[in-house]
Amino acid sequence: MSNPRKILVVGAGLSGVSVSIQLLRKGVDVVLVDNGTNASSIIAAGIMNPLVFRRMTKGWRVDDFVPSSKEYYASIEAETNTSFFHTLPMRRMFSTEHERELWLKKQVREDFQDYMTPLESSDDTYNRCINQFGSGRIKNAFTVNPSVFLSAAKQLIEAKGSIINELFDYAELSGTTYRGAQYDDIIFCEGYLGMNNPWFSFLPINPTKGEVLTVHSEKLPEDESLNRKCFNLPLGDKKFKIGSTIDWNNTSLEITEEGKAEILKNLSYIIEEEVDVLSHQAGIRPGSKDRRPFIGTHPEHANYHVFNGLGSKGYLLCPQLSKELVDWIIEGKELDPEVRIERYYPKA
């Protein structure tokens, strides 16, 4: 019996642990290397929303991502005897009468049936927050507890593969040999730090800083998430995560008074209350200019691969896209043309 394929995965955020788990499910010998510093996945709210509210449209490939995410997160919960994936009752507070009209047009369409609850009179008279133009209830919205998920995922990887807790050193990689160990492939899942990767620096990773607050509120409902200009995620005990700011091309993890003020101002469109701020955090999301991830193989190094640029919807996109990357590497299945990094290959 031949030895299993051995693959080194660089980065243990959402992308790296998901790629590692998908590889392990294919019988691959996985080594995950990471220094434990996480600037995005652990800070994220973990909200999985299938709709884009600005134009009241479905998110990109949401019909693929929702069922895939349900299966993926539930399977990890079952394998690790943990609980981190939950249905999230979510309500969009319309910001204009036009938004309400868009919802009414879309709710009768067959392709929106799984994501919109038809408006009722109670949605117009909803009085638990500011409700000037009415509101709509979203179906198939979920939340992942990032810290519990990442801990469970690493537990799974350590049981079936191995994790090296150290900073990856590019200078130690020669071909597919890293620190004296030979691998068949290297997969880089480095988030915004991938900007410094000597082989994939041609990818235009757009680092986006986001600040979030945890607040105590007496008025926000604890049984559903309200969305208008900001999200709020009920945490229990009248605590809520509120966010987030969007600061393009900023890689500073420092929290700012400006960010805090912006979040609180946006929250004022939902409730008239001076909430108590309990904590303030910042993270860096790895985005892309065309809002599509970076997935594929280096043009000159056939054993170097990348999985990056998932942006603000990472927890929804990652389960399916990590599987597609692994199917590409192991079985040669074609990638979605929209994510392929060929679109950014250096021109000769």
SS3 state at 165: strand
For 14-28, 237-251, 325-339, which range has the lowest pLDDT when averaged over its residues? 237-251
Distance CA 153, CA 82 (A): 10
Residue 303: burial class (beta carbons within 10 Å; 0-12, 13-18, 19+): middle
CATH topology (fold) of 206-288:
D-Amino Acid Oxidase; Chain A, domain 2 (3.30.9)
pLDDT per position as a tens digit, 113-130: 999 999 999 999 999 999
Dihedral pair phi/psi, residue 305, rounded to 5°: -130, 160
pLDDT in tens, 23-56: 999 999 999 999 877 667 778 889 999 999 988 9
CATH number of 6-44+146-204+290-344: 3.50.50.60
Length in residues, the chain: 348
Question: Are 293 and 314 contacting, i.e. CB atoms less than 8 angstroms apart?
Answer: no
Question: Which alpha helices (H) appear in the chain, and where do they start and end?
Answer: 14-24, 62-80, 97-106, 121-125, 146-160, 257-267, 314-331
Are the folds of 6-44+146-204+290-344 and 206-288 the same?
Answer: no
Per-domain residue ranges of the chain: 6-44+146-204+290-344, 65-143, 206-288
pLDDT of residue 55: 87
Residue with tokens 């999230």: 88
Q: What is the pTM of this model?
A: 0.95
d(CA 72, CA 323): 10
Relative to beta strand 205-216, strand 276-288 is antiparallel
347 token code pair: 């021109």
Which of helix, strand or coil describes residue 217?
A: coil
